[in-house]
Amino acid sequence: MQSFEKKVAALTDAIPDGKVATYGLIAVLCGCPRHARHVGRALGQGVSQQAYKVVGSSGRLTGAASFLQPGLQAELLRLSGVWVSEKETVDLKKYLWQPTPEQVTEILKQAETQ
């Protein structure tokens, strides 16, 4: 059985450039649909180098407290190919990562062996 944090890290690390996920989506993919805040805590502890790709359910950048300088999350997203508005939101219809169930299974399976 994998730890929740290990699942969060594996899934977050799998988000491709040009895409984002929400805390809630990561929680659902981990099998814990009501644990979006736990995803935020895990990412805040540094379990993934790609934590900047995780946003709030409305597309709003919510990880500012986890980044050392203001605007860093927005800048990293822009560099990865995600357009961020002046209000620091992203268009989830355009940029939301939607892995297939098979992809999720493979990501979590690979994480088990690491």
Residues of the chain with pLDDT > 70, as a percent, come to: 96
The confidence band for 112, taking pLDDT boundaries of 50, 70 and 90, is confident
d(CA 114, CA 95): 29
The confidence band for 1, taking pLDDT boundaries of 50, 70 and 90, is very low
Q: Which residue has the higher pLDDT, 81 or 49?
A: 81
How many residues make up the chain in this entry? 114
The confidence band for 59, taking pLDDT boundaries of 50, 70 and 90, is very high
Residue type, 20: V
The fold of 4-101 is: Arc Repressor Mutant, subunit A (1.10.10)
Q: Residue 21 contacts by C-beta under 8 Å, 6 or more apart in sequence?
A: 11, 12, 15, 53, 54, 55, 96, 97
Residue carrying structure tokens 């180098």: 49
Residue 96 bridge partners (DSSP): 20
pLDDT at res. 68: 73
The domain limits of the chain are: 4-101
